């Protein structure tokens, strides 16, 4: 059956095609379950977002004797984070003149050959990658503690830290730096670059601190390849792993150039090695920045909607002149025919931001360099 440009760029086809793409640089959002096809999401109607912060309690339920009325307990204190969804919207113009040159000679101008289909598919992948990059940046910003976007004309430029609009995810100061999480001293008290540092001891201490602070133990460590080399070269890790020369128990590819692993010495922790970076606004210009700093690592419990999810805002989108008009949540892609010059507009829009409902579930610590020098 012949494939026409109308078939290939039908709004429902575009959405289905993009949702099936396995794009690079999406390890963090896949970990949290809020990529293009993820399920750890909540819909939040409109432009403004708000979510509640529920802290863990260590109190024990009050006991009462038989026949006594139940004890009165005050409602849990709830914090709130509010703001406006950062809206992303982009359009790529596909001219029929360009598409015509990619169709088979002698075929109908409305019929796409393999080359024409490949051209359209690559443009869809390019557009989708830009939005995937945005979600990945937002996810890394949540791990770091702040996400800011700055107005530059009509554009919003995204960055880590403060901007014209700043979302503070309320991660406690004690969950940063050397991680004095319990107020009893730094849990990261030695440089991971030193092969004699007790990295397993650090992870055990962080696990215990997370249990006390948020009721959930350590399950995931996100770091770069440099941090991972510190781990596998660590003498304590090697000694605990036994006589084998291979310190890891499992190693598998997560995305292009990124992988996850477990250690023989610490099989209960999954390491996510992410060297991906993006052009991030640093206050003056957009510069290439790794999502996770080489001298830092993020320490997380098992991913759960209990403590984090992705909020999807909404807006009314019309699929081109005379097209279907509906309220769309989160990421939505569509296309429509244009004239003068003849062609198609391939467009996408997204309203969304990560929500961290238990900020104490995240620890972003410095594992090497700096203060250890």
64 in Cβ contact with 72 (< 8 Å): no
Average pLDDT score over residue span 34-44: 90
Per-residue b or e along 340-372, where b marks 16 or more CB atoms closer than 10 Å to that residue's CB: eeebbebbbbbbbbbbbbbbbbbbbbbbbeeeb
Instruction: Give per-residue pLDDT as tens, 192-236.
Output: 999 999 999 999 999 999 999 999 999 999 999 999 999 999 999
Query: Phi and psi at residue 120, in whole multiples of 5°?
Result: -65, -45
Any bridge partners for residue 329, and if so which?
314
Query: Which of these, 309, 348, 272, 255, lies nearest to 139 by C-alpha position?
Result: 309
312 in Cβ contact with 36 (< 8 Å): no
136 in Cβ contact with 30 (< 8 Å): no
Three-class SS state of 258:
strand
Q: How far apart are CA 148 and CA 143, in angstroms?
A: 13
pTM: 0.91
Q: How far apart are CA 184 and CA 300, in angstroms?
A: 20
Residue 195 is inside which H or E element, if any? none
Instruction: Give per-residue pLDDT as tens, 74-108.
Output: 666 567 888 889 899 999 999 888 877 776 555 55
124 in Cβ contact with 131 (< 8 Å): no
The per-residue pLDDT for 66 is 83
Q: How confident is the model at residue 5 (pLDDT cuts 50, 70, 90)?
A: confident
* % of residues, the chain, pLDDT over 90: 59
């Amino acid at each position: 059956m012949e494939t026409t440009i109308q078939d290939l760029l039908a709004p429902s086809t575009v959405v289905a095609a993009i949702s099936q793409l396995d794009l690079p640089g999406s390890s963090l959002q896949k970990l949290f379950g809020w990529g293009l096809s993820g399920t750890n999401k909540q819909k939040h109607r409109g432009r403004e977002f708000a979510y509640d912060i529920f802290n863990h309690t260590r109190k024990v339920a009050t006991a009462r004797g038989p026949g006594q009325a139940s004890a009165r307990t005050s409602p849990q204190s709830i914090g709130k984070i509010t703001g406006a969804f950062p809206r992303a919207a982009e359009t790529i113009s596909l001219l029929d003149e360009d598409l015509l040159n990619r169709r088979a000679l002698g075929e109908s101008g409305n019929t796409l050959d393999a080359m024409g289909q490949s051209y359209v598919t690559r443009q869809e992948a390019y557009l989708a990658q830009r939005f995937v990059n945005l979600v990945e940046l937002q996810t890394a910003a949540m791990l770091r503690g702040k996400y800011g976007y700055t107005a530059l004309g009509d554009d919003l430029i995204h960055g880590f830290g403060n901007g014209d609009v700043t979302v503070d995810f309320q991660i406690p100061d004690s969950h940063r730096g050397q991680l004095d999480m319990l107020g009893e001293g730094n849990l990261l008290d030695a440089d991971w670059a030193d092969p004699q540092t007790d990295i397993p001891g650090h992870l055990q201490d962080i696990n215990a601190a997370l249990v006390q602070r948020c009721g959930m133990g350590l399950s995931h460590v996100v770091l770069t390849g440099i941090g991972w080399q510190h781990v596998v070269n660590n003498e304590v890790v090697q000694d605990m792993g036994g006589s084998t020369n291979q310190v890891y128990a499992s190693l598998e590819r997560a995305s292009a150039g990124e992988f996850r692993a477990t250690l023989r010495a610490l099989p209960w922790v999954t390491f996510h090695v992410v060297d991906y970076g993006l052009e991030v606004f640093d206050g003056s210009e957009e510069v290439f920045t790794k999502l996770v700093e080489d001298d830092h690592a993020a320490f997380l419990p098992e991913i759960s909607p209990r403590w984090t999810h992705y909020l999807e805002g909404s807006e009314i989108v019309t699929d081109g002149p005379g097209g279907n008009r509906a309220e769309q949540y989160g990421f939505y892609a569509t296309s429509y025919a244009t004239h003068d010059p003849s062609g198609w507009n391939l467009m996408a829009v997204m309203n969304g931001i990560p929500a961290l409902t238990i900020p104490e579930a995240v620890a972003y610590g410095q594992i090497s360099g700096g203060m250890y020098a």
